[in-house]
Copies of this chain bind each other. A is one copy, B any other.
Amino acid sequence: MSEKGKTITAAVLVIGDEILSGRTKDRNTGYIAEYLTNIGIELREARVVPDVEEEIVAALNALRDRYTYVFTTGGIGPTHDDITADAVAKAFDVPIDEDPRALKMMMERYLPGDLTAARRRMARIPAGADLIENPISKAPGFRLGNVIVMAGVPNIMQAMFDSAAKGLETGVKIIAETIEAGGIPEGRYGGALGIIAAAHPGVSIGSYPSFLDGRFRNQIVVRGKDAEAIAAARDAIGAMIASLREYDRPL
């Protein structure tokens, strides 16, 4: 699927009051971010919106116009607060109804007498969508245009993502190289790193501090698509860090 030089972009749209209230901590964005990076798709934006139809529709339309793909998580279960499918239909201005293909998938799990009206809600799929298999609890996700709609429960989302990923166009994979700056403070190498960054415009250079047991530990990451350009920047940063180590002292 990959085509040299092509850039494929994406956004994540997390849907759910429970994330915004802090009750549930979102783990899906981080998972999707890592997955997309590994298959050569660049995640450019993520948003969290509440279970409010107009908010979902507005975010969907803003994101699907702008990025190659939009991945949504949450809001496709059987309860009244699950309104993602209807919001997607509204955003695309297409009808939505019970989909026989979705019902058939669900019949692998439910006896006909167990197909409550609530469960049948999960078979409501916007017209024109392709279904995304759900090997865990059967009720499918779907893809409509460039929007991929998945469950919010992480293991179901991950299984759906595996199915959906097969049909995605991917670009050149971003390569990342990490240079350990250890305990050298960012403020000691920030000036030199800025000069190196300016001299290597073909790569993106980031400095990432973490704070553990009262001390900073810093890593510098070079990212890009051109292995030679990355190696050149990495070597320049490595030499700069090595020279600083000679003067290193605790701060």
> Which residues of A pack against B, CB within 8 Å?
14, 16-27, 29-37, 42-51, 55, 77-81, 110, 114, 116-119, 121-122, 136-137, 153-156, 174, 176, 186-191, 193-194, 197-198, 204-211, 216, 221, 223, 251
A51 and B121 form a contact (CB under 8 A): no
B26 and A118 form a contact (CB under 8 A): no
Say which residue of B110, B119, B190 sits within 8 Å of A78 (CB atoms).
B190
- CA distance in complex: A24, B37 (Å): 12
- CA distance in complex: A181, B193 (Å): 54
A17 and B79 form a contact (CB under 8 A): no
Determine the residue in chain B with the shortest Cβ distance to A156: B211
- CA distance in complex: A193, B82 (Å): 12
Say which residue of B23, B24, B80, B204 sits within 8 Å of A197 (CB atoms).
B80
Residues on B with C-beta less than 8 A from A48 are 29, 45-47
Determine the residue in chain B with the shortest Cβ distance to A206: B81
B17 and A206 form a contact (CB under 8 A): yes
- CA distance in complex: A136, B24 (Å): 28
Say which residue of B34, B46, B50, B116 sits within 8 Å of A187 (CB atoms).
B116
Residues on B with C-beta less than 8 A from A205 are 80-81
